[in-house]
Amino acid sequence: MPQHTQLLRVLGVVFGLAAVVGGTVGQGILRAPGVVAQADGSVGLLLGLWLLGGVLSLVLALPFAELGAAIPSAGGGIDYAGRAFGPVVRVFAAWLLLVAWIAALAMVTYVVGEFLVRLGVGGGAIGPGWQALGCLALFYVLNALGTKVAGSIQIGFAALKGGLLIALVVALFAQVPSSAPPPPMPDGAGTAVAYATALMLVIGACNGWAALVNYGEEIENPGRAIPRALFGGIAAVTMLYLAVNAAMFHVLPPAALAVSDFAAADAAKDVFGNAGDRVFTAFGVISVGAIANMMLMTTTRIAFATARAGILSTRLTAVSPRGVPLAAMALVAFASAAFILSGTYLALASTSTAMQQGIYILVTLSAIWLRHREPNLPRPFQIPAFPVLIGLVLAINAALMAVFFVQDWWNTMLGFIIVTILTFGSVILRREPWPTDSTADIR
């Protein structure tokens, strides 16, 4: 590729760890423990659910680790699917990733705007939508400073979030446990439905690690760094989540947390008093803002790879001297802003979770088929116990997709209908042959 369309390999394994931790840890760990606690009154069992969620995340990450190390590319699932199944599937994967990530970026940025309003930013005269647009503009500027600078900022965000949660753990363990009699456990506790719901929330709180593979062209020695950062980051998040939950249970029993909409704030009332809401709202700005910044950075890489595949204008493949695809980032920012202003992000964001699950399935199928199609492809990391373990990954992903469909079949289908229409339109309107897949030349 010409120099002006090449990303810069200036990121290291520390950024990879920060990408996983910073892209995963958000408001989920502060809210989810209360709902998860509704499943059972046993502290040991509830901590076991959080541990199981981390283990499942490690298992689900296996195909991403294998393909991320073997085919390090900005497109991630786009390039894996294209290499495995051809150009039409590559187009489908590109639209699937792009729509899901832009919608999710709009939603997460809007949440940052809501937190800012709760903190009193703007004095009540500026609504969350306009605050979100301001955040998008700020994140654009931060990322435009260069890949290395943006990577350092993300490392700082991840360290700050981790440090704040560790401080919360220490503060909670320093408190005297509540002596008040706990309320009764809610109806439905101990049932299979309660456990399944709790596990889904835990897995949702652990999601965010998959974005790492979209930095394959920018991480030094990706064959080693991507698997290490992926598994190391997931392990770090799991340990952090276990520590936070254990600290909460030290202060309040599961039955008391089960009736809380904001478990962390209720557990820390003795520490922060009446200021607790503002403290955790400020944490929300930091944690969700860091995720939104990371999502803009990641979605820009997806748009860049989509343009390189010939699906979007090749003008979006231009890269600044500091390694940033500025045109692609502008497109992503404007699309997210349009979703926020129109309110359509509310509908699209509800489909993004299912579309993300579709990406997991597509990457898993790509890993399976490439083992057959390209057995000699250098794989610095290989999924162990193949094909048994990869079969388990596929079964888990399929089960999760089935749950999403049962819970909200319309919104689950809506996202895939939109992506299918975009794919059909791209294939029909294309008058030239699709460009040759260049992923073999990226490594």
CA distance 57 to 208: 10
Out of 171-185, 379-393, 407-421, which region has the weakest mean confidence (pLDDT)?
Answer: 171-185
Residue ranges of alpha helices (H) inside 71-183 are: 77-85, 87-118, 128-144, 147-173
Residue with tokens 């695809």, as numbered in its chain:
325
DSSP-assigned states of every residue in 227-293:
HHHHHHHHHHHHHHHHHHHHHHHHHS-HHHHHT-SSHHHHHTHHHHGGGHHHHHHHHHHHHHHHHHH
Please state, for a pLDDT cut of 90, what percent of the chain lies above it. 56
User: By the 8 A CB rule, do 397 and 358 touch?
Assistant: no
CA distances from 303 to 74, 306, 315, 332 (A): 9, 5, 11, 7
Handedness of CA 386, 387, 392, 398 (dihedral sign): positive
Average pLDDT, integer, range 3-14: 86
- Helix, strand, coil shares, percent, the chain, to 5: 75, 0, 25
Q: What pLDDT, on a 0 to 100 scale, did the predictor assign at position 440?
A: 46
Q: How confident is the model at residue 265 (pLDDT cuts 50, 70, 90)?
A: confident
Helix, strand, or coil here: 11? strand
Whole-structure pTM value: 0.92
Q: What pLDDT, on a 0 to 100 scale, did the predictor assign at position 351?
A: 79
Please report, for the chain, the start and end positions of each structural domain, with discontinuous segments joined by +: 3-442
Torsion of CA 420, 303, 316, 305, to 10 degrees: -90
pLDDT at 2 over 60: no
User: By the 8 A CB rule, do 339 and 103 touch?
Assistant: yes
CA distance 323 to 218: 9
User: By the 8 A CB rule, do 217 and 72 touch?
Assistant: yes
Domain spanning 3-442, CATH class: mainly alpha
pLDDT averaged over every residue in the chain = 88
Helix, strand, or coil here: 216? coil
Q: What pLDDT, on a 0 to 100 scale, did the predictor assign at position 344?
A: 67
Q: What pLDDT, on a 0 to 100 scale, did the predictor assign at position 441?
A: 47
Average pLDDT, integer, range 327-339: 94
Of residues 389, 381, 332, the one with CA closest to residue 144: 332
Instruction: Encode 304-314: b = buried (16+ Cβ within 10 Å), e = exposed.
Output: bbbbbbbbbee
Instruction: Encode 54-77: b = buried (16+ Cβ within 10 Å), e = exposed.
Output: bebbbbbbbbbbbbbbbbbbbbbb
Q: What pLDDT, on a 0 to 100 scale, did the predictor assign at position 372?
A: 94
